[in-house]
Chains A and B, each alone.
Chain A
């Protein structure tokens, strides 16, 4: 439970745990968890868990310190951007030692030595990850860096839920100046040809161009001002300058405190061939809107204004 909470809140923690081996024998470990963030953008990339066996009170610790070297078990060489990637690295597994003392039923608390070992292990892994990440170009670090232009990255649990929605959509934050995009789906990026870094933090108006209908833009602006949803057909431009007819639905999305946290814009390229699922384009738009609304209501990821009013 404690671990789950820490993961949700994207912070580090440390706890003594009773674990069981495959053969059913119990063993106490000191479990140290810490997050790794992307240096640029501050997105969470990894959780690293370090496990140090806790020697029982009856055992002498000299043996375990003799084997003080770290043995990262399953370190991944490539640092991937997926949020869910969890990398468990076990440190110094002293199986023989532990078996002898495992019968003791008292709760074991980690001594200073184990704690130091966990910290050492954690630092070593962090250094390795930082080293590898430099090779792949996505630099990571142990502390969250300040993201660009004051935008706060969305909680990872929300990103995970949003990631399941495969349609083209963006979330914009009306509580920030000029309503910048704070989330863009992969389909949106492939539809428009931009990369994520090129769209995050910008207002959606870059999709418009010389032939975009001004009245339609006005209609969108009015709906947003009235905090209402609207559906429009609008001419938009990709990064390469080509046009596409965009069937667009925009709707306010409220968080668990009932305040408007985002506006969602869902897009369908009207020229795209329809897959024969039997759903009309409008249903596809609204289905995605519904899924976004459900995800943003999450209590654990209280996004947007919670106590302050959303004027």
Chain B
């Protein structure tokens, strides 16, 4: 390895809050060498973003303060520099890109001006030279027609393009170190693959070091040279990539791997980390992971573990690896309990039959709001939901999957098509006749923060549906049912006298599930219920959903973009692209034998942990077209690597590949 570029030593950042001092970063040490990618991995709230901000001295003032440590860049301590000298470091020597490209750009300035600002500051270029440099940068980050894009505004670009512009701004000062804080979390998988590829390419070409901050093990596997795992404000394990993925030493790292959903774990529960991340406001004397660790014994509760070498370039902070400490006899980790799938007589019967569902949103223009066109959010979707089974609806953002779910529930009135349930076409009956069916068809939302009224207590939130559906005759009866529901989703009945903001994301999602269960539904539409949660919490929710399905015989329409979850949970899969279903089949059909080029690309774009297999990523060019003006012929042909002449003509008819597997593609006609 080459010399050390950045060396962080004993960094500590504290926040003064009403509840005391919060040590967001508490003694972090690591080195980054020139030209390498160093990944900082951790769940939300572990202090990884704050570490990055501390390196650049951008900690929010005056609440936050760097209280100890050194940040040496080429041997020079950044924490000792005066503020004006720091401005030459930021952007010029260390640059940063952020998670949310939508809010990182100023909407009233052209992207050329925003990149030019940084170029001018750090390279001192003016006029034509400046413009040429900016266009060269846009070209470097893979933006087509850079000369034309120069004068465009952020709203004219897609999310992926904006992230490319952000990268161009970061590169403008030709930094030695690039800090990327969750650079792809807000993007779809195919776009994520593009951006990761771009970062990898730029790093290779420029010999730049990169500090990558992420919660996604897959991203780490794909791009990092070395990995550090952060937990509760400090680093618990550090290793090079191969060693880390081959044999993680810290129990927390191992749990992270075990809680990932995969195909192989389908018939058993996912491993979960019990409890929750400890509050950083308290002083730690012992191991920080002790109360959640399966292996913890008395020593873990008394002394803090040392930072020990457990292999070449591999360190961990755990007593299990300390040769000087007597360990109790290893407890055999109990295998994750299998799920009792009670076979039901009716399982597999069609519960809801959706036929050719269309949801169009009119585009109004002019003074009299004339309808000038339609956004074809859902454009002819047919699905059958079966009793006790899970159908996963997969697609990238903007493909219409959420709209399809709401169209099924009649939360948005469909434009055309039928939804048959218990012999009725739900699209034809009025609100009054729809009301009794509402109890059977429920929904869980993505964002557990906005899905509950902040001014209602948990008991009132759960009771609302029961009152509307006249379930439970007396208040006593309803309160007893609420207690039962809360216990069923793994919360204490005392929770009902509290308000939603007092709960964590995972607990809120449990409350939302309890609310849906309160009316005894047959089908629950799960709209990305785990995508806002950390991996270990996601495992808890997936376990809960699976258990409830086994116990209550529920059907799920599981809307997601996360294919790993699909593999674990779903029975059938439908892949959606631009308002239409392009491929449908059982989970085995679609995940192991994908036929449609889009499905193939989607599957290959997921960052995988087992990089050894040497699979090839099918890179899709460009972005999802606008659903208000879909391309002629096959919607996918402009991005399809296998597009033929016939694809430009008409939309392909359905091809049946097997009893359960169908697709819309000319390759199989």
Co-assembled chains A and B: no
Q: State the B residues within 8 Å of A (CB).
A: none
Q: State the A residues within 8 Å of B (CB).
A: none
